[in-house]
Structure 1
C-alpha cells in the first residue's frame, strides 16, 4: 500500500510569511493500517531544510538552511543540524548566522540556536557576535543570548553573562558584568610567532556550505561561479580575529549598550579599567560612566576620573577625560590634580601618553612639596626616566631664606623619596633670597642645586 502524501501544517496565508521548503524526504516508516492506540510517530528525516521569510515589500528578510532536519508533525518542531543563514536589511545580506544545531518551533516563530553560534555583521567593518545558546524570535527581530555572549571587531571584544540583540535597532545590550577588552596594535607582532594566522581580518575557519552556494578556496576564489551572488559573498566573508595573547586594556562596567554598525558604545558604571604593564604591575582607571566609539577607538570618561600607577606611586584626579585607544593618549582640558610620591601636582589641563610614559600639563602648572613650590606655564614628566621639565615664566619659591628663582626653563629629576631636584643648565636665572642678620656672610658663592 502506498504512503499518503506528506502535508505540513500551515497557517492561513499572510503577506511576508516564510515558505517552509523541505527537499525530498527519507521517511522513517509508513504503515498501511493504524492501530486503535497509535504510538507517537517517529519524526520525518529530511535531506535539507530551507526556511525563508520576506518583508512587507517582498524582499528577503531572513533565511535559514540546514543539510539535515528531523520534523515532528504533531509538535511542529524541526531539529536541524549545522544550520546557517542570512538576515537581510532592505533586501541585502547584513548578518550571517551559523550554529552547531538548531530547533525550529511553531514553523519558524521561534528558533533556538545552540553550540558554537556565530552572528557576523558583513561589510567593511566586520563584527562577530558569538554565544552558546541563542533564542531568535524573527517576528520581533530579537535574539536573546543567555550563554557566554561576546562581540568582536578588529581590536575590541565585549563580553557579558547575557545579552539581547535588537536586530532592527542594530543594538546589542550586554548585562551581567559586561567587560570591554582591548588589544593594542603592535606592528608585525600579531602576524608572527604565537599569533600566526591571527592577523587583522584573517580567519582560516571555512564558512559553511549552503545548498547551491559556491565553495570558497583558501585564496578566496570562487571555484563554482564566475560571478557569485550577494548571498554567496556573504557566506564567504571572513570573520574578524583577535590575537591569542591577553588583552592590554580591560574595562568592567555594570551595563553596556553597543551598536555594531556605527561602533557607538555606552557603558554605565562604576567603571574600573586595568592596563597590565608586566605581571603583577597594573595601572587602574575609574569613572562613573563612558560613551565612545569602538570604530573610532575613542572613549569619553565622565568625571571624576581617577588614574593610579603603582610603579611611581602616582595618583591623578581629573574631570571628563578623552581616551584615545589607538594613540594611547588620555587627555582633558579641565582642571586636574595629582600626586607623585610627596610631590603635589595641579594644572588647568592634562595629557598622558601611555605608550611613551609621558605626562604633560600644557598650561597652569603648579608643583608643591614640603618647603618648596614651582609655577610654570607648562610642565612635563617622564615617569620612566624620572625627568621633569618646566617651561615658560618659571617661578621657584623656597621657604628657606625666602628664596625666589625665576627662569624660562628648569630641568630636574625625581628622587627616591618623591622629591624633585631642579637645575638650570645653560639657562639664565634670577635668584632673590633673604640672608638672616648676623650671619657674617659677605662673599658670593655659587648657588647650590635647586631642590623642589
Structure 2
C-alpha cells in the first residue's frame, strides 16, 4: 500500500520532534480488520520521504529527502532509497548530502547513510567529504564516518581510517593513520590530474535539475529557492591519479570552512621524483591552512634527497605547497655529499631544484672552508654560487682567497671547482721556508 509523502511540519513542539505521530491514524484508516494475533504487516512504502527540522529560531536546520522509503511502524525505522538533503547554517544551505541508501531510526534520532556518501560544502571554496558509511546524529550535530573517510578541496585531500565531523564546530577529526595528499603543479595537465583552471565539478543529478527548474502555478518558470539552488550546484570531482606529495600523521584536525589544519606526528612526508626515487621530510607536528596552501612544520625538520645524497636539518620551517617552497629564517645545517653546509636561513625551491642560503653561508670539507653572505646550489645542474665578501681558506700553504663572487660546480664526491668570471680576486698564501716570501697573485681555478 502506498501513501502520500512523509513530511515533517514546518514548526513542531520543539526542534528534534518529527511529524510521524499522525502516521498510525493514517495507516489504521486504510488497513482492513485483522485478527488479534495476525502476522506483522509488511513495511509501508511511501512514494517519497521528506524530513525537516528547524533550529530554535525557526530557521531550517536540516532536511533529508528520498524518492522512495519503506517504513516499519513497530520498529520506527524508515529505509530510504537515494537519500539527499541539506544542512543549514543560520537558515542558509551550507552542506549538501547524498548517499546510495539510508536508514532513519527512531523517527530521525539517528540517520545511517551508506554507499558512496558525499557531503559537499557549498560556496566559493567547495569541499567534498566522502565515506562508505556515515552515522548521523542530528541532535548532537555529529557525523561519524567509519569506512574510508576522505575530505577533498581544489588541491588537497585528507584520508584516514575513521573520522568524526562536528557540524556545529565545522571540524573534521581524522584518526587512524591520517594522510595529507597533494597534487603538484608539474603533475597537472598531463591527462591524469586536474589543472588549476579546470572546473573539477560534475553536473548535478537529474532530479536536482528538475527541482531547480520547477514551474509556478501559471506555468511560468518559478524563481528557485535557496535550497533548490543548493541542490543544483555541480558536485566537486576528486582526482583519479596518485598524489605526488603525501604527509602521514598520527592525528589530524581540519576545519573545512577556514582551511585550518592541525596534524600531530611524528610526521613523515614523501615526494615522488620518479619511480623508486623519493624525497622525504620529517617533523614532530604541523599547523597550516589548506586554502592558503601553507604548512608550518615544527622543529626539528629533516629533509633528505637520495638523488644528490643531500640531508638538511632545520628548525621551524614554512612549506608553501602552491609555490613548492620550503623556507626557514632560523639557523640550519646540512650535507651534500662530502660537503658540510651551515647557514642562518634557508630557502628550497623544490620545483626548480634550487637551495639558497640567503645569509651566513658556510661551506666546509676536510682542509677547506668558504664563508660568504649568500650561497646558492642548483642540484640539477650541480652549479654553486657564493656572493658577498667571499673568503675561501685552504690549509695547504695557509691559502686565503677573497672575492665578491665565486662560481663553481659540484663533483661526484662533493668537491667543487670555483672560478671568478669577471670578478677581482685576491689570493694570499704562505710559501714554505726557503722557497721565497709571502706573495699575492691571481690564482688558477680553486678547488674546494
Q: How far apart, in 1, do the equivalents of 2:216 and 2:12 lie?
A: 43
Q: How far apart, in 2, do the equivalents of 1:7 and 1:86 lie?
A: 15
The 1:20/1:223 distance shift into structure 2, 3 A limit, reads farther
Q: How far apart, in 2, do the equivalents of 1:116 and 1:237 lie?
A: 18
Is contact 1:160-1:174 (8 Å) kept?
A: yes
**1:39 maps to what in 2?**
39
The 1:442/1:205 distance shift into structure 2, 3 A limit, reads closer
DSSP-derived class of the 2:206 partner: coil
DSSP-derived class of the 1:222 partner: coil
Q: How far apart, in 1, do the equivalents of 2:175 and 2:139 lie?
A: 23
- CA deviation string 1:334-391 (max 9, x = no partner): 0000000000000000000111110000000000011100000000000000000000
DSSP-derived class of the 1:262 partner: coil
Q: How far apart, in 1, do the equivalents of 2:415 and 2:119 lie?
A: 55
Is contact 1:150-1:160 (8 Å) kept?
A: yes
Instruction: State the Cα distance separating 1:180 from its structure 2 match.
Output: 0.4
Instruction: State the Cα distance separating 1:232 from its structure 2 match.
Output: 1.4
Is contact 2:7-2:19 (8 Å) kept?
A: no
Instruction: State the Cα distance separating 1:323 from its structure 2 match.
Output: 0.3
Question: Which residue of 250, 256, 263 maps to 2:246?
Answer: 250
Q: How far apart, in 1, do the equivalents of 2:372 and 2:56 lie?
A: 67
Divergent runs of 4+, >6 A: 1-12, 21-31, 201-208, 210-213, 216-224, 440-446
1:13-92 superposed matches below 5 A? 13-15=13-15, 17-20=17-20, 32-92=32-92
Q: How far apart, in 2, do the equivalents of 1:2 and 1:228 lie?
A: 29
The 1:449/1:64 distance shift into structure 2, 3 A limit, reads same
Instruction: State the Cα distance separating 1:17 from its structure 2 match.
Output: 3.3
Instruction: State the Cα distance separating 1:243 from its structure 2 match.
Output: 3.5
Is contact 2:426-2:440 (8 Å) kept?
A: no
Q: How far apart, in 2, do the equivalents of 1:136 and 1:122 lie?
A: 19
Q: Does 1:180 align with 2:180?
A: yes
Instruction: State the Cα distance separating 1:210 from its structure 2 match.
Output: 9.0
The 1:288/1:146 distance shift into structure 2, 3 A limit, reads same
Is contact 1:20-1:52 (8 Å) kept?
A: no
DSSP-derived class of the 1:291 partner: strand
- CA deviation string 1:98-119 (max 9, x = no partner): 0000000000000000001000
Is contact 1:200-1:241 (8 Å) kept?
A: no
Instruction: State the Cα distance separating 1:249 from its structure 2 match.
Output: 0.8
DSSP-derived class of the 1:180 partner: strand
Is contact 1:273-1:285 (8 Å) kept?
A: yes
- CA deviation string 1:253-296 (max 9, x = no partner): 00000000000000000000011111111100000000000000
Instruction: State the Cα distance separating 1:186 from its structure 2 match.
Output: 4.7
Give the stretch that moved more between structures: 421-430 or 125-134: 421-430
DSSP-derived class of the 2:135 partner: strand
Give the stretch that moved more between structures: 179-188 or 77-86: 179-188
Instruction: State the Cα distance separating 1:449 from its structure 2 match.
Output: 1.7
DSSP-derived class of the 2:283 partner: strand
- CA deviation string 1:61-90 (max 9, x = no partner): 000000000000000000000000000000
DSSP-derived class of the 1:186 partner: helix
DSSP-derived class of the 1:123 partner: coil
Question: Which residue of 395, 409, 422 maps to 1:426?
Answer: 422
Instruction: State the Cα distance separating 1:424 from its structure 2 match.
Output: 1.2
The 1:74/1:372 distance shift into structure 2, 3 A limit, reads same
Give the stretch that moved more between structures: 95-104 or 218-227: 218-227
The 1:442/1:198 distance shift into structure 2, 3 A limit, reads closer
Give the stretch that moved more between structures: 402-411 or 212-221: 212-221
Q: How far apart, in 1, do the equivalents of 2:257 and 2:43 lie?
A: 41
- CA deviation string 1:120-173 (max 9, x = no partner): 000000000000000000000000000000000000000000000000000000
Instruction: State the Cα distance separating 1:221 from its structure 2 match.
Output: 21
Give the stretch that moved more between structures: 50-59 or 238-247: 238-247
Is contact 1:16-1:58 (8 Å) kept?
A: no
Instruction: State the Cα distance separating 1:230 from its structure 2 match.
Output: 1.1
The 1:16/1:29 distance shift into structure 2, 3 A limit, reads closer
Q: CA RMSD in A?
A: 4.2
DSSP-derived class of the 2:312 partner: strand
Q: How far apart, in 2, do the equivalents of 1:198 and 1:219 lie?
A: 37
Q: How far apart, in 1, do the equivalents of 2:332 and 2:3 lie?
A: 83
Q: How far apart, in 2, do the equivalents of 1:423 and 1:76 lie?
A: 85
Q: Does 1:442 align with 2:435?
A: no
Is contact 1:215-1:222 (8 Å) kept?
A: no
TM-score, normalized by length of structure 2? Answer: 0.90
The 1:294/1:405 distance shift into structure 2, 3 A limit, reads same
Question: Which residue of 325, 348, 351 maps to 1:352?
Answer: 348
Q: How far apart, in 1, do the equivalents of 2:377 and 2:359 lie?
A: 14
Runs of 5+ consecutive residues of structure 1 not aligned to the other structure? none
The 1:140/1:16 distance shift into structure 2, 3 A limit, reads closer
Runs of 5+ consecutive residues of structure 2 not aligned to the other structure? none
The 1:347/1:119 distance shift into structure 2, 3 A limit, reads same
Instruction: State the Cα distance separating 1:182 from its structure 2 match.
Output: 0.5
Count of aligned positions: 448
Is contact 1:395-1:404 (8 Å) kept?
A: yes
Instruction: State the Cα distance separating 1:432 from its structure 2 match.
Output: 0.6
The 1:147/1:410 distance shift into structure 2, 3 A limit, reads same
